[in-house]
Structure 1
Amino acid sequence: MKIAIAGGSGFIGQHLIESFLRDQHEIYLISRKKQPTHDPSLTSLTWSDLALTPHLLEGVDAIINLAGESINQRWTADAKHRILQSRLETTGQIADLVAKLTRKPQVIINASGMSIYGLSETATFDETSPHVHDHFLSDVVEQWEQAAHQIPATRVVTLRVGIVLGMDGGAFPKMFMPYKLFVGGKVGSGRQWLSWIHVEDMVRLIQFCIENPQITGPVNGTAPTPLRNDDFGRVVGQVAGRPHWLPVPAFMMKLLFGELSVLLLQGQKVLPQKLLDHGFQFRYPTLEPALHHLLHH
């Protein structure tokens, strides 16, 4: 297959590209600047290249959009603007690009987020749950999905990404650092839910969504066993052979992270119902084997 990836130089994108190249697909990496490529099946294209000659992507089977400014920063007014605009602009550029192609891709997979469900210690969410506007990121995600559904393709999947666990990027290296230093513990109340997924399963479920034409609309990119923060930390401690004992008070998180701390102090219990209904088999459905693989592989 021919697959184009926007935002492919990021954490998930790099894992995707590695997997696709192993499976001998032809990959187009779309980014602001030309990226070094070391494989004849991988072509680097810039947004400027595609604005001038969109037909470079003629005949592409799937477009995956993972592009967007990192949310892992203080949410100043400027940062909020960049976080929203980077997502809307990239998704808009893909819509313009697809409109110019004679043969449209079979599927667009556009990243999205769990924040669309709002924050709760008690509710359980799946793809049928309503949108809740209770913090900045929930509004961003709703606008992002609306932009994705403007892309003129027969099938658009909005991938509501959970906390992706890997050792070479994402949130986990920072989450694991206190345990390395023997000062791990619950964050805030410890009752907030963490809906996580191993990066290998994230790559596999994206491939699954491409290959299964009946999957469309929102898909929760999370493992089927979310955990509360305190329980998550206990499993990290057990697998790493480190104590789980030193709580981080909520006020400290607010001081360190500002408004971003809402994501660390509150969470949501999100289930991948659509994937389970379509028969997707998780390689790491529970946390302990996922962490054994990451920490002892």
Structure 2
Amino acid sequence: MKVAIAGGTGFIGGHLTRYYTERGWEVVLISRSARSSDHDLVKYVSWHELEQDVSALEGVGAVINLAGESINQRWSDAAKERILGSRLESVRRVAGIMERLGEKPVLVSASGMSVYGLSDTETFTEESPHRLDHFLAEVVEKWEAEIRRVPAARTVMLRVGVVLGRDGGAYPKMRLPFVFGAGGRIGSGRQWLSWIHVDDIIRLIDYCVTHEEMEGPVNATAPEPVTNDAFGRSLAKVMGRPYLFPVPGLVMKLLFGEMSMLLLEGQKVLPQAALSRGFRFTYPTIEEALRRLERQAKGG
């Protein structure tokens, strides 16, 4: 099997590349510039090269698009333009490539759970209506509209939750206060955290590639989301650290501006599509996931 990954040098892309090469799959990494590879099964190709010639992707069974500007920055007007523009541009480039491929591969494209809007009380599945009540929700709405236009054998829009891993994403920063014994809830603590262990999102991406019944929006979140307070208490327990120091919402707003909404507000998102189509999570509960992450920190 041969797959192509756009955005494959990032946190999730790195894990996904290792997952496939360990299974003997060929991986083509689409990046801004071509480079040599030190792995026999990995090849780099640039967007520019593919605009001239798509032969490097002939025979791929799937294109996995993870490309996009990080949302973990202050949302200035310029940053908002980059966040939206990078997502639309990557999808349009993928569409241009796919149009010229003789045999259309499966498309698995990252998307976001923000499209459901924010709530402390509601529960969301893939069938929930979209609620465009903040910047990221509007981004996802426009992003998915572009994804649906891509000519593909089958299209999956992976609405990604908070991915927990030792070597990237939000988790290293989330655990840092606990390392120093200063952990506590953020804001009210009632806001929902819809999370997923990095190993499970990698397996879910592969499941979407290899199972024909996976199509349309798929929530990439664990089946048991938790509140911010429950997450903090579980992390303190697993790390053997105190849970004493709440951080007021005003402090987060001063530090992060509009982006603080990611920490102070949330949504309870369930992976209905994945579960109903046979996917099983290795880490369905937050304590299982955190214990695994902390064992990895100790080399276990």
TM-score, with normalisation over the residues of structure 1? 0.98
Aligned to 2:37: 37
Aligned to 1:72: 72
Which whole-Å CA distance do the structure 1 matches of 2:289 and 2:247 have between them?
24
Which whole-Å CA distance do the structure 1 matches of 2:88 and 2:125 have between them?
24
Which whole-Å CA distance do the structure 2 matches of 1:102 and 1:280 have between them?
31
* Contact 1:59/1:104 (8 A) holds in 2: no
User: Are 1:291 and 2:287 counterparts?
Assistant: no
Unaligned residue ranges in structure 2 (runs of 5+): none
Give me the CA root mean square deviation. 0.7
Unaligned residue ranges in structure 1 (runs of 5+): none
Which whole-Å CA distance do the structure 2 matches of 1:178 and 1:241 have between them?
13
Note the C-alpha offset of 1:37: 2.0
Where does structure 1 differ by over 6 angstroms across 4 or more consecutive aligned residues? none
How many residue pairs end up in the alignment? 296
Note the C-alpha offset of 1:36: 4.8
1:112-142 CA distances to partner (integer Å, 9 max, x unpaired)?
0010000000000000001101100000011
Aligned to 2:102: 102
1:181-219 CA distances to partner (integer Å, 9 max, x unpaired)?
110000000000000000000000001111110110000
Which whole-Å CA distance do the structure 1 matches of 2:147 and 2:168 have between them?
25
Aligned to 1:86: 86
Aligned to 1:24: 24
Aligned to 1:10: 10
* Identity of matched residues, %: 55
Aligned to 1:255: 254
Note the C-alpha offset of 1:159: 0.1
Alignment of 1:144-183 (within 5 A): 144-183=143-182
Aligned to 2:57: 57
Note the C-alpha offset of 1:34: 2.7
TM-score, with normalisation over the residues of structure 2? 0.97
**Amino acid of the residue matched to residue 38 of structure 1?**
D
Aligned to 2:279: 280
Note the C-alpha offset of 1:285: 0.4
Which whole-Å CA distance do the structure 1 matches of 2:137 and 2:36 have between them?
35
Aligned to 1:269: 268
Pick closer, same or farther for the CA change 1:120–1:28 going to 2, 3 Å: same
Note the C-alpha offset of 1:180: 0.6
User: Are 1:191 and 2:177 counterparts?
Assistant: no
Aligned to 1:246: 245
1:199-257 CA distances to partner (integer Å, 9 max, x unpaired)?
00000000111111011000000000000000100000000011111000000000000
Note the C-alpha offset of 1:35: 4.4
Which whole-Å CA distance do the structure 2 matches of 1:35 and 1:220 have between them?
33
Pick closer, same or farther for the CA change 1:35–1:181 going to 2, 3 Å: farther
